Structure 1
């Protein structure tokens, strides 16, 4: 779909504003519930939050909280707190910021601060991840439930076409067996400690809502991939997609995804454009740059270069839908291969090339953190496909050492030398 370059500049998405407002209200409500005695879980993004939703247990996603702390410019202070306890502050910062934020003065922490969680839940994808969550559990009021990290033994081509309904074929049976068993163990763990019951039919309802939400996200992603110039800034699409993702399995999450699609659809009809003079379409691979989201827009006026893709909408479109008669095993299928899809070649590299081509990107900025495996294979696959890549080794939530200025200078040089030159 082509739109004229004379289109009017785009205003901020109502879906993004609404999502941020909802999250603030939800966080305040959660704090009140916990103060009144409700249990609280802190979960990593790759842990099965749907079980907590089915059991009515409030939870906060560790990476989301780290993004808020970082966006409020408190990331360095949180990491300094980690260092003051004698632990590394230059490894796995995205996981560690939440831990460090617990030691900051209440007046300095965003939104009143995170209450002390009763439970922390994470997949042990790396030694450092396990160690970070072990530190949470050193507090006498917090317990840790770890999930094992299994390795990919099968790598079907075009996984995004297979995994929604043929996930038994996509993933090894023993991997699915392991995570299904651990899901049930988590249910027992939570039931014993909270007294709350688990209903498999309620989980089925949650899973159905997640699938609907993924379907709306897929429509939005496909529409944006087909539209030139792009009508939506990634600064807006990230919160408009990811905040509802942290409420997966809720009616609000499903409805927010539908509202986003409808707003984007109207923006396309109105020929709106983030940058009417769009010359270069860029892809940002890696986690969001929470301490400087404005960076994504600073190349538009000088170069006509627009970031049209981030992993958040793309993985929300391709990575979550799972259909099947057994909701607990389908949930295992959602998370068994989640990390593989983003970071294990050829699963990851095929997907990034597919997304780059469908969005018509001219170049890629690839942010590589110290805990991200397989990055070189992704870069190589994109370069072989004829798409120039700038690799930057940095942490998305650690702004220390002039990281923002260095990133901006590197991207500008890359555009001038390899893309526009």
Structure 2
């Protein structure tokens, strides 16, 4: 049985469109809007009722609608780099759009607040420029590190997060979050409620438990019951609404739909012969790429970081809720990009899903990519590195990428067939 498009993916996208349309009206009426990075503590905004747009989500929409080059051109016209941190800088170009009404989804409403962790010089400069825009205030968060790296951090994080992250890092981020709350109260006039915040944190944990169950279902399923580019909206749109009953219920609906597919034997590719893992951000300028090797090679992408990090990276139980939130984000980038945190996790996930090979997208701003590839190869898992930017189609030719992956499948993954 061939797997049709997920109903949960269609429902999530429809919800996001309506939410964004409502957001336009709210901002037009004078409401506040925050623009926040994907790895920022959005739960505080949720608890305070401050609407927010995720920076990288907006980049994905612009890119999927084939407008990334237009926006990068707006940066270039103003003397800003158009070839650095494109994933984070495309939304900045929205502030310079002369015709925002004709932008994708009606354009990005101008935020009043921007929030980001200052990872790297280029990232900080992007948000410093936001801070110079009329009516926009930037609140930066530090990017701290810890010398002691926990083994098998994914087992510690849900309940032993103090030991996993480190008390010094948690002290720093908890203090910063307290400052963020004061800043938001002064800026918006809204009041932070500890009771409401605890409810948000509980809902987030419930949501991620469903994501964990879904991840494990897909890891065990043979053949793979859904295409990876369908799973991305099913998991990530609810992630951007973390702390709501809708997001919790959407994650459960996603799980139930996957479970039904597994039980009925639905398959992305009925002749599945190779299971692949995609490491890196979504290839937003060519989402059809992930399905391109099913007929030619029986190769199916069964893994992306989006569902996996939802399963392993977010659960936090016990302790003070604000400190638990600090524990969710103080080491978030480490989990995805900093060895040995990231490298060991990718190997664990590759084995968990029984993959035959890994396609690793390496951008110009890659962090720890060398160590990730080395760890997977040392574990006996073939890796192909694709050097391209996930939102900038100038960085790679789609046909060339397809040929490269096809040749690699023939040489290293299915050579013995």
Q: TM-score, normalised by structure 2?
A: 0.98
Q: Give the one of 142, 153, 156 matched to 2:147.
A: 153
Deviates more, 1:142-151 or 1:367-376: 367-376
SS in 2 for 1:192: helix
User: What does the per-residue CA deviation read over 1:177-197, in whole Å, with 9 as the maximum and x for residues that have no partner?
Assistant: 000000010001110011000
The alpha-carbon distance between structure 1 residues 41 and 221, as it changes in their structure 2 partners (threshold 3 A), is same
SS in 2 for 1:349: helix
Q: Give the one of 2, 7, 10 matched to 2:3.
A: 10
SS in 2 for 1:290: coil
SS in 1 for 2:272: coil
Q: Give the one of 115, 118, 127 matched to 1:121.
A: 115
Deviates more, 1:108-117 or 1:178-187: 108-117
SS in 2 for 1:365: strand
Q: What is the root-mean-square deviation of aligned Cα atoms in Å?
A: 1.0
Distance 1:81 1:102 in 2: 9
Q: Does 1:62 align with 2:55?
A: yes
Deviates more, 1:86-95 or 1:103-112: 103-112
The alpha-carbon distance between structure 1 residues 80 and 160, as it changes in their structure 2 partners (threshold 3 A), is same
State the partner residue of 2:43: 50
Q: Give the one of 71, 84, 89 matched to 1:96.
A: 89
State the partner residue of 2:12: 19
Structure 2: 5+ residue stretches without partners: none
Residues paired across the two proteins, number? 414
Distance 2:95 2:6 in 1: 33
What is the Cα deviation at residue 95 of structure 1?
Answer: 0.3
Structure 1: 5+ residue stretches without partners: 1-7
What is the Cα deviation at residue 401 of structure 1?
Answer: 5.1
SS in 2 for 1:307: strand
Q: Give the one of 210, 213, 222 matched to 1:219.
A: 213
SS in 1 for 2:138: strand
Q: Give the one of 276, 284, 297 matched to 1:282.
A: 276
Deviates more, 1:214-223 or 1:103-112: 103-112
State the partner residue of 1:111: 105
User: 1:317-336 residue pairs with structure 2 within 5 A?
Assistant: 317-336=311-330
User: What does the per-residue CA deviation read over 1:43-64, in whole Å, with 9 as the maximum and x for residues that have no partner?
Assistant: 0011110000000000000000
Distance 1:75 1:384 in 2: 37
Q: Does 1:32 align with 2:11?
A: no
User: 1:295-374 residue pairs with structure 2 within 5 A?
Assistant: 295-374=289-368
State the partner residue of 1:263: 257
